[in-house]
Structure 1
Amino acid sequence: MRQKRTWWLSAVTAIALTGALAAPPVLAVPTTAEGAAEPITDPIPEDPERASLGLVLEEYAQLPATDPIPDPTDERLMRHNRINYIGEVPDESGRRYVPDLNGPLYLLDGKDQHVYLDFASRFDRFFSGRGLGSGFGFVTFHPEFAKNGKFYTVHTEDEKAIETEEPTYPNQPDATVQSVVTEWTASDPGANEFHGTHREIFRFGFTTQIHAIQQIDFNPTARPADPDYGLLYLAVGDGGIGVGTDVPQDLTNPAGKILRIDPSGDNGPNGAYGIPPDNPFVGQQSTLGEIYAYGMRDPHRFTWDPAGRNAMYLGHIGQHAIEAVYEVRAGDNLGWSEREGRFRFDPEHQCYLYPLPDDDAELGYTYPVAAYDHDPPLNWPCNSDSGHAISGGQVYRGAELPQLRGKYIFGDLVDGQVFYTDVARMKRGAPRAPIHELQLFDTSGTQLRMSDFVADGRVDLRFGMDTSDNLYLLAKANGKIWRVADTRPAVPSEVTKQVAGNLVAHYDFERPFAADDTQELDRGDSNTLLELLNGGTDMRVPDGAFPGSNNALQLRQVAPEQPGNDDWKAGVWSDDGDGVESLRAFNGADGMTIMGWFKMTGENPSPNPTAPDPRDRFNAVGLAGVLSGDSDGHDVRALLELIEVDGELKLVALGRRLDGGASQTFAAHNDWQQVLPPGQWVHLAATFDFTTGTMALYANGKPLPGSYTVDGDPWQVDGTGTTASNPRGIKIGGSFPQNDRERNPCNCRADSLMFLDTAADASVIKRQYQRFFTR
């Protein structure tokens, strides 16, 4: 696996942003108590490894659309519905159950769907319209449901409930929601609609509308003679205030904990449940006996391994940087908010984490058995949501999918990545278990990302499993459930090893940025976010230049008859005179390569609406380029474009070695329309060797004959590379990625655009072109 390049940001190197983003505050570099700066900006440098296998997803169910109550203002709650788990009713009926945060509890009986219970209509103070976890959060069935008809739920109620309802323990200050745990008793456990009684067993109020009670569950591996049998676990978040308080560490407060209670007992504070005598803190002064483990921010999902030691695994959502899996045991302290993962956390400087202190072993914290970091794009504000949160998963021990046996399958609930770790490597006190990213396929064999399955950059992914070891994936984005029907070998990367070693930026338009899907994630080393200007998500179109590609970028002139600033293009731009820090590989570069797929889809060149003559056209068609360090949004260091040469439009490589210096153009002899026939995908490449002053053009892996248009030595070649300055950005489909004016639009599509910090030779270009069809 190739390691990420790590860019270390100083206080004076402000993060460069694309034009539509507000600049982040300038942050002073934090220091330790001794005054020595030691921030960790990339706490987990290794990326998840590419798995050698993928999952085949078969659509299992589509659940109805639902709406939050009250109407939400947060777009993240405006989903098709908010389904968040699937399990099997423990009565041998084969029915699956699915809770929806917006209120319904569904039973799925084959293809039949039944609303078993609706919280929105049952409780007049039901609340699901603010906060990502508010509403009907979870349901779990007693292991003897078939006999006793008992099941348990958790839902949230609004401020009116706080005014009148007595909590089990005092609400957090200025509480805005209460989580309510309820026991239900069905008069007929086999019915598809609930009739029976219910009683409240636990209620607690939270300051904010996030991090309330997430999952509640029974240990499915416990048998009737086991001490754990019939005991209910509650995953209680910190209420959103743990970052600045000691609530998660306070053993007199239920927030930021996993609680373990006996719903059939009565020695709890309200007499509605019991406290198991073998809980780790029973009998200790100033400590809640219900606490099983503590020190948590948002204990999102937990599960038990059905084999081995029946270990309990928790997917824990982090604050700023770390998403972690813990093996949880009685009495554990996960460290929040003193720790985020295996790092010291400082609420005053949340853009950074710190090394552990020398005496850390004496503090007794429990650290993750697996973890990954957020790796936010380097031109994204470090203190903004970067679109990551772990979705805890399931340990697979079934027989149907042998390649998954012994693996913990989980993912990122926001962007929909699916991962696994080997349970045998998930050991406390050992190095973190390697994380592998699984590829996904539909039943036709087409490779897709979860964002393709749901047609949305934000997936809202969850996992579930039934008693037959069927593994399921769910998404709020479109309200669908998929069953993992099979595994298959993964598809190799479309990038050759020769190209990968110098791949600064790579945009394939398959990876919308989950925090803002009008932007595209970089698959190259620089981790530079690309903005889809003016067209946003509509610019990703279902078209692929090569097998395995599902989406392409649509570029176009929008209003040819009038001046404006609405043409579809893409780019990166920095108003900062220091340029885009993440593109520093092009600073002083000896060479560069720009290549990618293009398809002409309209009239080129485009009409020039700023010219007096309405028949006038632009004299160029923008394809892709890297800007110079002093660019105004037009001047480039390296450019692949169609430009008018001696009155005729030509495909060119245009380069500039020195900022402010003269450019040189290498123009293809072929007619541009022969190189780029309308409606056909063509792979183009342009190379620039700044040490020798040579350039080259390629189409579909083959060199194009051409010539230089400027005599002499406009680059002032002296054997060294470009000016030692960071580029001001990247432009795709036209000039001025700061989007303050228009020039040279392209009515075309682009796919798999690559920007290299070397002048690739002809054999590298040829092998890369062939790789698209031979992997």
Structure 2
Amino acid sequence: MKSGRILVLLAVLAAAAVIAGCSGNGVSPSPSRAPAPDLTNQDSPEAAGFADGHSLTHLHAPAVPVGLRFVAGGFTAPMQVVSPHDGTGRLFLVDQTGYVKIFFMNGTIRETPFLDLRDRMVRLSPGYDERGLLSIAFHPDYRTNGRVFVYYSAPLRAGADPGWSCTNRLSEFHAGADRADMSSEKVLLEVDKPYQNHNGGTLLFGPDDGYLYLPLGDGGGADNTGPGHTPGTGNAQDISTLLGKVIRIDVNNPGTPYAIPADNPFKTGARPEIFAYGFRNPAYATFDSGGSHRLFIAMAGQRLFESLFIVYKGGAYPWNIREGTHCFDPNDDSRPKDGPCPATSAAGQPLIGPIVELGHDTGNTIVGGVLYRGSLLPGLNGSYVYGTWSDAFGGTGDGTLLVSAPPAGLDLAALPADASALTPAGNAMWTTRVLSVANNGNGRINAFVRGLSGNDDNEVLVLANRAGGPGLAPQDSGEVWEMVPADTPGLVDTTTGTAAPPATAAR
């Protein structure tokens, strides 16, 4: 009798195990689940290192020589240059202090702003501030519909926590020939932020799908912790909030502020606008203007590492589980966390690591760039051109220009659209070199690097100024420079006959 009861009990337990394996959310029992690929690049020889309390970039030699040619100046805190691609040759410079001005590659500037939001923005701190007018994007059919989209920092809206910093606003305006109608503002989305930093902010229309993309920071402060951050996970890993995400929306749906694209990857328990998650401050974004149309995001790090990512639909990115490729401890951000580190998010998705990782030996903040598709510098074709803001927060600025090239044989156009199909080989790290300014005396830009954009010819425009904040004197030191061949005549101060830094060179 006892042996019979034991057999029956074993049979019941076996049946229960089978039922348990087939129930719930439909996920197969763990023994049969294929291991998630390690996409973190934590063991890549191109990853940044850490020694004696410092983060170190794996730079390749030699430096790549380029030149710089002055285009236009007199701005304050240039953030971005955007083209409407309407055949007029007009370029639109976004200044953080709240205005947009039209200029041309011959240096002509139209002094009357195309758009002026200074009376609608939060008051900026002149010494240092990450809020302000952060980007604009022209609708793909702008030539016929005059629609322009704007992302900026407004004062806290009614009902927001009074201790928070601002409400970031995504709005639409309509524009005539050379002026936006400031009375036409239509607010599409507002996101309250606890701190002034980490706003994200590059508005982009997808070249293939026509949807509007917007990367958003994690809410600011430090370490993705503190008031306004989700306890435990932080905002970036919490898909119930827009903070720390790349969102994608459809602004072509009449009668509503926006619609959700049907193939957006997150539905139940998530904000449906989310395209990818796990970002700290994805302040710089660009689509490859070449055939791949890949989305690149440069993300500012916490204390040690700066990152460049290719962004995939449904992707889980590493903040704040990792800072770049390195394990992160929010209780001690002065060094990478020891011991085993998760390669997956809390939801079990593989964390997608950076394709480029910088240490702070090259500068303290990555300033994103463009995937080069121009003709002046054929040796850079298919490489990502960018920089770092400066090596310190004070002084006159000492940014570094950089270029990163993909691994031999990597076909960007062959990479998957969806994160679930990404392989470690597809996410392999790129090689990085310094760009030396050959027509400047010391090979440096000698200014704060504030942004890099492309013009209508896909050439690189470098935005710089000599003041770290958006209001410090000299307030007219913001300039636009075109990256040109290294043998372009030198930048010489005609009053002294000596080499001069770009920010003080003769025009």
2:117 alignment partner, one of 106, 119, 138: 119
2:125 alignment partner, one of 117, 125, 129: 129
1:366 alignment partner, one of 342, 347, 352: 352
Deviations 1:441-488 (A, max 9, x none): 33xx6453111xx4xxxx143101112112100113221110112245
Q: Following the alignment from structure 1 to structure 2, what is the Cα–Cα distance between the partners of residues 399 and 218?
A: 24
**Is the 8 Å Cα contact of residues 407 and 429 (structure 2) preserved in structure 1?**
no
AA aligned opposite 1:117 = L
**Is the 8 Å Cα contact of residues 203 and 215 (structure 2) preserved in structure 1?**
yes
1:399 matched to 2:385? The reply is no
Match of 2:139 in 1: 142
Deviations 1:102-139 (A, max 9, x none): 11110114413231111114x2x543337632111111
Match of 1:623 in 2: none
1:421 matched to 2:420? The reply is no
1:344 matched to 2:344? The reply is no
Return the offset for 1:363.
4.8
Q: Following the alignment from structure 1 to structure 2, what is the Cα–Cα distance between the partners of residues 104 and 200?
A: 18
Q: Following the alignment from structure 2 to structure 1, what is the Cα–Cα distance between the partners of residues 331 and 151?
A: 34
Q: Following the alignment from structure 1 to structure 2, what is the Cα–Cα distance between the partners of residues 7 and 410?
A: 22
Return the offset for 1:86.
1.1
- Output the TM-score relative to the length of structure 2: 0.73
Change (3 A) 1:277 1:266: farther
Return the offset for 1:360.
2.4
Match of 1:87 in 2: 82
1:263 matched to 2:251? The reply is yes
| 1:49 match: secondary structure | coil
1:48 alignment partner, one of 59, 62, 82: 59
Alignment of 1:49-448 (within 5 A): 49-64=60-75, 81-109=76-104, 110=106, 111-114=108-111, 115-121=113-119, 123=120, 125-129=121-125, 132-159=129-156, 162=157, 164=158, 174-186=163-175, 188=176, 190-192=177-179, 194=181, 197-219=184-206, 221-222=207-208, 228-229=209-210, 231-241=211-221, 243-244=224-225, 245=229, 246-265=234-253, 271-281=256-266, 284-354=267-337, 357=340, 360=343, 363-375=349-361, 388-414=364-390, 415-424=398-407, 429-430=424-425, 431-442=428-439, 446-448=441-443
| 2:236 match: secondary structure | helix
Change (3 A) 1:471 1:8: closer
AA aligned opposite 2:103 = L
**Is the 8 Å Cα contact of residues 150 and 203 (structure 2) preserved in structure 1?**
yes
Return the offset for 1:92.
0.9
| 2:248 match: secondary structure | strand
**Is the 8 Å Cα contact of residues 236 and 298 (structure 1) preserved in structure 2?**
yes
Count the aligned residue pairs.
402
Change (3 A) 1:543 1:322: farther
Return the offset for 1:265.
2.7
Return the offset for 1:370.
0.9
Q: Following the alignment from structure 1 to structure 2, what is the Cα–Cα distance between the partners of residues 266 and 341?
A: 40
Q: Following the alignment from structure 2 to structure 1, what is the Cα–Cα distance between the partners of residues 162 and 182?
A: 37
AA aligned opposite 2:377 = L
Identity of aligned residues (%): 23
Q: Following the alignment from structure 1 to structure 2, what is the Cα–Cα distance between the partners of residues 196 and 145?
A: 18
Change (3 A) 1:192 1:108: farther
Q: Following the alignment from structure 1 to structure 2, what is the Cα–Cα distance between the partners of residues 300 and 399?
A: 27
5+ residue gaps, structure 2, are 1-45, 391-397, 413-422, 467-476, 489-495, 502-507
AA aligned opposite 1:329 = Y
Change (3 A) 1:116 1:359: closer
Q: Following the alignment from structure 2 to structure 1, what is the Cα–Cα distance between the partners of residues 117 and 313?
A: 33
| 1:449 match: secondary structure | coil
Deviations 1:416-462 (A, max 9, x none): 111111134678624421110010133xx6453111xx4xxxx1431
Deviations 1:120-177 (A, max 9, x none): 14x2x54333763211111111111110000011111224xx2x2x6xxxx5784221
Change (3 A) 1:325 1:479: same
AA aligned opposite 2:336 = L
AA aligned opposite 1:421 = S
Change (3 A) 1:195 1:352: closer
Q: Following the alignment from structure 2 to structure 1, what is the Cα–Cα distance between the partners of residues 356 and 50?
A: 24
Q: Following the alignment from structure 2 to structure 1, what is the Cα–Cα distance between the partners of residues 162 and 353?
A: 30
**Is the 8 Å Cα contact of residues 252 and 288 (structure 1) preserved in structure 2?**
yes
Change (3 A) 1:128 1:90: farther
- Relative contact order (C-alpha < 8 Å, sep 6+): which is higher? 2
Change (3 A) 1:488 1:424: farther
**Is the 8 Å Cα contact of residues 77 and 450 (structure 2) preserved in structure 1?**
no
Match of 2:461 in 1: 472
Q: Following the alignment from structure 2 to structure 1, what is the Cα–Cα distance between the partners of residues 329 and 451?
A: 30
Q: Which has the larger radius of gyration?
A: 1
Return the offset for 1:63.
2.5
| 2:438 match: secondary structure | strand
Q: Following the alignment from structure 2 to structure 1, what is the Cα–Cα distance between the partners of residues 240 and 167?
A: 18
**Is the 8 Å Cα contact of residues 84 and 476 (structure 1) preserved in structure 2?**
no
Change (3 A) 1:136 1:305: same
Q: Following the alignment from structure 2 to structure 1, what is the Cα–Cα distance between the partners of residues 367 and 339?
A: 26
AA aligned opposite 1:410 = Y
Q: Following the alignment from structure 2 to structure 1, what is the Cα–Cα distance between the partners of residues 50 and 271?
A: 45
Change (3 A) 1:479 1:7: closer
Q: Following the alignment from structure 1 to structure 2, what is the Cα–Cα distance between the partners of residues 433 and 182?
A: 36
**Is the 8 Å Cα contact of residues 296 and 335 (structure 1) preserved in structure 2?**
yes
Return the offset for 1:232.
0.9
Q: Following the alignment from structure 2 to structure 1, what is the Cα–Cα distance between the partners of residues 130 and 186?
A: 22
| 2:92 match: secondary structure | strand
Deviations 1:25-46 (A, max 9, x none): xxxxxxxxxxxxxxxx4555x5
Change (3 A) 1:156 1:193: closer
Deviations 1:723-749 (A, max 9, x none): xxxxxxxxxxxxxxxxxxxxxxxxxxx
CA RMSD, 1 decimal: 3.0
Q: Following the alignment from structure 1 to structure 2, what is the Cα–Cα distance between the partners of residues 7 and 249?
A: 25
Q: Following the alignment from structure 1 to structure 2, what is the Cα–Cα distance between the partners of residues 243 and 324?
A: 16
